[in-house]
Structures are given as C-alpha cells and as structure tokens.
Amino acid sequence: MAEATFNFPKGFLWGTATAAHQVEGQNENNNWYAWENEPGRIHNGDKAGLACDWWNGRWQEDLSNAARAGQNAHRFSIEWSRIQPDANTWDEKALEKYREMIQGMKKLGMEPMLTLHHFSDPLWIYNQGGWENKDTIDHFIKYVRYAINGLKDLVDFWVTINEPAVYTVGGYLGGGFPPGKNDLGQAYNVLSNLIKGHAAAYHVIHEIQPDAKVGIAKQYRAMAPSRHWFPPDRWITRFSSKSFNDAFMGPIIDGNFRFAFKKEHIPQAIGTQDYVGINYYSQDQIRFKPLAFDAVFQERHFLPDAQLSGTGFIANVPEGMRAALKWAHQFNLPIYITENGVEDTQDTMRPAYLLEHLRKVWDAANSNWQVKGYFHWSQVDNFEWERGWSQRFGLWGIDPKTQERTHRTSADLYGAICTENGISSDTVRKYAPEMLDKLFPG
C-alpha cells in the first residue's frame, strides 16, 4: 500500500450546501408550505416545521462547526417569499437578516455562494400559475434586482436557479413536486420560462455587479443503457440525457432550446454562465420499454451490484461523477461541484461514497480541467422536499423535534480533507480503513 496524498489545487473551495426552505423553518408563505399541507404529498405526512431553525439563528452553530472543520465556503439560498411576501411589498428586515448571515459566514472565513431560486416560489407567484405564467419572469427579475442591490457588497458568486430540470420534471412530469401535474406541454413551457428567467437574471446581475460570477446549479444525472448491445436502449438513453442534462444548457451555448420533441430559439441566453455548477448524486441504467407511455418509454434501475443508500434512493457510482465532469468540461469554464452527497442515517456508506467521488474530482482537477470547488450536501440533516425527514444527508444529524445536533464520523473525515486540501493515506486509514487498498494500492 502506497503512502501518499491526493492534493487539490491551491485556493480550492471546500464547503457544504443548503437551501432556505430546507433549513430555515417557519416558512409559511411559499408553494412548499402549501404542498406540505395537502394530504399525501410528503412522505409520512412530514412537514418542514422549524426545519434546522436557521431563521432563528441556529445557522451560527452549524456554520461554526463547518468552519472549525476547515470549510472555507458555503452555498446557500435566500427565500424569495421572505424578501417579497406579496407583489407590492419588500421586506427590508428579511434582507437584513440575510446580510447578517452572510457577514457571519465571512467572519468565519467562508466564501458565500448564494442561490436566488432553490425550488420554492412565493405563494402569490404560485397562485398566479408559477413558472407556467410568463409574467413570473418579470417578477423574478424585480426580485433579483432587489436582492443584488442589497447584497452585492457581500457576495461574488451567484447561482440564479437550482436544478431547473428537476424543478420541471418534479412538478410537471409526475415527480411529486408542486403543482403535481403530468403535462409534457406545460413542462416545456416552464423550462423555457426558467431559461428566460435565468438569462435575464444573468444580465441584470452583471449590470449591477460587473465582476460577479454567475451560473446555475445543474443536476447532472448520469445515464447508461441497460443493454449496451441493444440499439433501442442506447437510443432512449441518449434521448433522456439530452432532454434532462442538455436542454437547459443548449440555449446557453447557441440559443437553441430543445426539450422532448419541441424546440425554440432563445438568443438572449447565449453565454449566460461564468462557471458550470454541477449537482451529481447517482447514475441510472435505462432500458427501453415500448408500452411505458407515462415513463417516456423506459424503465430505470441501478447496477445490480451497486452499493445502495438506506432507502435505495442513491447508488454509489463514482464513474458518474467522472461523466458529469467530462460533460461540464466541454464549456471551457470553471467548474464547481455545487452538490454531492448520499442519504445515510447510520453514516456507514457516506465515507466510501465521499472518498470515491472526491477521487474522481481530484482526477479532473489534476488533468488541467478547471475544477475549482466542491460543496457537500449537506452540513446537517434537513427537510428533503417530498421525502420529508426520511432521508439524512447531513455530516451532522438532527432531531427536528428537539433540534439536537449529532456529530457523525463523516464530519471528521470531510474536515480532514478540507484542512489538508487533499486526501491522504493517513486520513483514509483513520476514518475509512476499508478504502485504503482501493485508493492507495501498492
């Protein structure tokens, strides 16, 4: 066994990622609050409730833990419905609270990466049709302009929209997100409006803050044909990857939006990213099913020998991270892993998952690809959307009833990596000895 360290580039950003509705708590003015109060929408009938109680200040404890563990950055979101509770009202106190949070991060030595839209919409927007309504683009830009003007002196990194394809598929192709529709035509309309919203936001941010770094956080879902020898499996895999992974990014390259069997030219979107943000979790094997109309003629599964998370939601497929990085490399821009992690209540799978995925990130960063940072999902267990509290992604555990935090060993493993700016054989030996021979073969 070799004694060595996989060193990451100097200045690499190490952090965790969170989203406002998932951690703040007491958020009662957005579409997800309404969704949680509809019977049968959330697993086990769970509700966000206090979430991680960040709105009352518990962010200080969680981010202090992160900073002590060597993290030098944090990706988070602000809640549109708090800043603009109705169409004609701006809440200065809410904006000031976010300023205090960001100032707290900076005092802890953490670079803030701020997401402007992470799945949740104000109720007044939702009740007007949400992103189905093209007027939402103008409303979003007014909110963006207000937020940037109020926070530009504190933030350099901006994410306009988190996972637009997930938002669209989840809400409009039967995925369990509000508004719970299954309508391909509306899915196309929503994704088109999200692209236009992103493009307009990009231009507004640069108008106000010319040196800002602006992008999206794009979930890359790795996909492979279940039967490589079978042409229909290969075809449906290409079709699915282009629809999910490429549809939003196409307009940024050449202005051409293609989703399912429709297309549109959106020239204002060309060149509207300064970096590529990747959210990667797992890879699907795809099998063609000619009669599966509701499932877009396919069946998905994981590799039969893949290590699975507790609920079977995620398979440990680090090669998918390599595929995601290769996909991002085509844009010739800086790359940030804006989310990566695994739900693991017992903290038994997370060490291997973390190490194997970071090894792929290291490969890319040391192949002269512009990989600049990694944000683990998440610092602390949080409310996982339609899956409620059934999945635990945190380096720290939480009891949502008592708000008690529980330290997990993976927090120390990730802390050692952040502090070293690398993965050493000593760290692996200490925290995940079962991975030594795999990562450091003789």
DSSP assignment of 59-72, as one string? HHHHHHHHHHTT--
Q: What is the residue type of 11?
A: G
- Report the pLDDT value the prediction gives residue 174, as an integer from 0 to 100: 85
- Report the pLDDT value the prediction gives residue 1, as an integer from 0 to 100: 61
Q: Does residue 437 sit within a domain?
A: no
Distance of alpha carbon 436 from alpha carbon 434, whole angstroms: 6
Residue 289: alpha-carbon gap to chain centroid: 30
Distance of alpha carbon 171 from alpha carbon 183, whole angstroms: 9
Distance of alpha carbon 195 from alpha carbon 247, whole angstroms: 10
Residue 179 pLDDT > 90, yes or no?
Answer: yes
Model confidence at 297, pLDDT cuts 50, 70, 90, reads confident
For 22-68, how does the pLDDT look when each residue is reduced to its tens digit (9 = 90+)? 999 999 999 999 999 999 999 999 999 999 999 999 999 999 999 99
Q: Does residue 266 sit within a domain?
A: yes
Residue 175 pLDDT > 90, yes or no?
Answer: no
- Report the pLDDT value the prediction gives residue 4, as an integer from 0 to 100: 93
Residue 183 pLDDT > 80, yes or no?
Answer: yes
Residue 442 pLDDT > 80, yes or no?
Answer: no
For 389-432, how does the pLDDT look when each residue is reduced to its tens digit (9 = 90+)? 999 999 999 999 999 999 999 999 999 999 999 999 999 999 99
Q: Does residue 313 sit within a domain?
A: yes
Distance of alpha carbon 259 from alpha carbon 349, whole angstroms: 35
Model confidence at 212, pLDDT cuts 50, 70, 90, reads very high
Per the listing, tokens 């100032």 go with: 103
Residue 202 pLDDT > 90, yes or no?
Answer: yes
Give 77's strand partners: 115
* Mean predicted lDDT score pLDDT of the chain: 97
The domain of 283 spans: 10-394
Residue 294 pLDDT > 90, yes or no?
Answer: no
- Report the pLDDT value the prediction gives residue 330, as an integer from 0 to 100: 96
Q: What tokens appear for 215 in the block?
A: 């992008």
Q: Does residue 427 sit within a domain?
A: no
Q: Does residue 415 sit within a domain?
A: no
Q: Does residue 432 sit within a domain?
A: no
For 93-124, how does the pLDDT look when each residue is reduced to its tens digit (9 = 90+)? 999 999 999 999 999 999 999 999 999 999 99
Domain CATH code at residue 227: 3.20.20.80
Q: Does residue 404 sit within a domain?
A: no
- How much of the chain exceeds pLDDT 70, in percent? 100
Can you tell me the mean pLDDT for 15-21?
98
- Report the pLDDT value the prediction gives residue 68, as an integer from 0 to 100: 98
For 132-148, how does the pLDDT look when each residue is reduced to its tens digit (9 = 90+)? 999 999 999 999 999 99
Contact (CB, 8 A) for 389 and 372: no
Can you tell me the mean pLDDT for 8-22?
98
Classify the C-alpha dihedral 245-248-249-251 as positive or negative. positive
Distance of alpha carbon 13 from alpha carbon 8, whole angstroms: 10
How many domains would you assign to the chain? 1
Can you tell me the mean pLDDT for 182-203?
97
Per the listing, tokens 């997100």 go with: 177
Residue 47: alpha-carbon gap to chain centroid: 21
Q: Does residue 411 sit within a domain?
A: no
